[in-house]
Structure 1
Amino acid sequence: MNDEELLTAAAKGDAAAVRDALQAGASLEARDGRGRTALLLAAAADHVETAEVLVKAGADPDARDHRGDSAFLVTGMTGGVAMLRALLPARPDPSQANRDGDVALIPACERGHAGYVRAVLETGVEVDHANRHGRTGLLEAITAGDGSRPYREIVELLIGAGADVNRADRDGVPPLRHALDRGQREIADLLRAAGAR
């Protein structure tokens, strides 16, 4: 019963109840029916204080659920900078990839989470990692984005982190061509200034 109480409390963001469940003997790495740990549940709902309690207790930020997601990976989807920072003391593996081959950087680029991209680049995540579709964070920021300010900021951050501005997708289309095809002129200018062809 303690395990169930722990998972429920984590999903709700009830840090005090999480502490109580752990003190009562709940397993730190207990999983729900979908393979999610308490830390993954807390991270997915952006319950930072709860995650901090679990990290301090030694929870694994890289434990995967049935879909291949982990607490660290899910922060790339939510864009939670505070959650990312809460997980760092647990030393998550920035090279871990989800079922689509995405490291945490890639969904953040796709969704326009510029603040998160800035933070996750400090973890040592590979800036040119390509997913199963052959797309890097830079390609996702262009193809999934609309050229608006958050996406321009992401492109600038990636260029500043040394992203290969000429790395094409698996169809051989480079970032500059994608930007031009989508009318993203300011992003195209950023790419050209960084040596894109």
Structure 2
Amino acid sequence: MRIIMMTFISLLTLQSCSANDSIVINMDEQLIIEAVERDDKITVEQALKNGISVNITDSKKRTLLLIATNNANTEMAKLLVAYGADVNKQADNMDSPFLYAGATGQTELVHLYLMNGARFDVFNRYNGTALIPACERGHVETVRLLSNTKDYPINHINRLGWTGLIEAIILGDGTAKYQQIVQILKDAGAQMDLADNQGVTPLELAERLGFTELANIIRG
């Protein structure tokens, strides 16, 4: 009976230790998430040196790198990449560090992520690439970088039936930065006559919207 009791107590002790260890790990993860949020690179690097995974996620499945990218904290992002952060891991909303950097025009981070394994077959919630929202939002230098990246899917069509070129036309305002984007896409080999899912071509869209300069670039 005494042996049985001792065994039972030992099992309880082990379970208690295991639970405490789990609490410590979860607390450590929360602390590094908070450190990334406040751009505290010293704390983050120390935690990574102590063995915390660089690819842990918060309650929305955002990695540390995605959090840093969301906050436009470039130096933090560089630190995390140096420790092997995954530039493609997606959150609940399907954002990844690479996709979000492209969509928000963070060209330096886009370049960094391209140099560290960015994948071209990981898409956002609209089944779009990093390029398409960059075109829509007028991020000229990001468009230039992605359009001239070897093997980048410049003619990818999202689930709305739009390419980057089409988004630059219908969601832009026809001003100088969108003229630059259309020219960049054209020079990089984008298909100028690739129609939307209604069969309307980029030229027709530009003409309908009265964007004469865009139409001239496409036509020329």
Q: Give the TM interval when normalised to the shorter protein.
A: over 0.9
Q: In the alignment, which residue of structure 1 is the partner of 2:40?
A: 14
Q: Deviations over 1:137-191 (max 9, x none)?
A: 0000000000011100000010011111111000111001110111100010000
Identity %: 39
CA distance in 2, matches of 1:89, 1:147: 32
- For the pair shown, the structure with the greater C-alpha radius of gyration is 2
Partner SS for 2:174: coil
CA contact (8 A) 2:63 2:89 kept: yes
CA distance in 1, matches of 2:208, 2:43: 52
Q: Deviations over 1:25-48 (max 9, x none)?
A: 322111100000000111111111
Match of 2:173 among 139, 146, 152: 146
Answer yes or no: is 1:28 the counterpart of 2:28: no
Q: In the alignment, which residue of structure 1 is the partner of 2:210?
A: 183
Partner SS for 1:52: helix
Unaligned runs of 5+ in 2: 1-26
How many aligned residue pairs are there? Answer: 193
Q: Which residues in structure 2 correspond to 1:160-179 (within 5 Å)?
A: 160-179=187-206
| Residues 9 and 85 of structure 1: CA distance in aligned 2, closer, same or farther (over 3 Å) | farther
CA distance in 2, matches of 1:189, 1:159: 12
TM-score normalised per structure 2: 0.84
- Give the 4+ runs in structure 1 shifted more than 4 A: none
Q: In the alignment, which residue of structure 1 is the partner of 2:97?
A: 71
Q: Deviations over 1:20-73 (max 9, x none)?
A: 221233221111000000001111111111111111111100001011110000
More relative contact order, 1 or 2 (CA 8 Å, 6+ apart): 1
Q: In the alignment, which residue of structure 2 is the partner of 1:90?
A: 116
Unaligned runs of 5+ in 1: none
